[in-house]
A = this chain, B = another copy of it.
Amino acid sequence: MNPHTLDDVFCPYYTHAVELVGRRWSGAILRAVLLGKHRFNEIAAAIPGLSDRMLSERLKELEAEDILERLVADGSPARVSYCLTAKGEALHVVIMSLTGWAERWVTPEQTAGQQTA
């Protein structure tokens, strides 16, 4: 059993969440999907420096966490897209809150090198 209570300073649920969302590229990918980019190529094009291989890996992780759902539409070639699950949609407020913090506090100098892998 997990002995965690809400009063604990250490919250294993939060720790899992923050390190999941904050893994290299994952936060940027989630924000792109939240803002309407659903196809693999759209997401790839929206994020400078993100390779197809790394995008594919991160999408699989987010799918395994039940944050994204992979949808395949019939056709030739079949169209693959990624949508947020209810669990993923619920991250919207967190991600926009962090965007607000970043716009206020992060300096351009700190983002230098952001666009390289």
Contacts and interface: CB of A to CB of B under 8 A. Distances in A.
Interface of A: 1-2, 6, 9-24, 26-28, 31-32, 35-37, 46-48, 65, 87, 90-91, 93-95, 97-99, 101-106, 108, 110-111, 114-115
17 contacts: A1-B108, A9-B35, A10-B46, A10-B47, A10-B48, A12-B115, A13-B99, A14-B27, A14-B28, A14-B31, A17-B98, A17-B106, A18-B22, A18-B27, A18-B28, A19-B27, A93-B97
Contacts of A10: 28, 31-32, 46-48
A31 B13 CA distance: 12
Contacts of A87: 105
A110 B14 contact: no
Contacts of A2: 108, 111
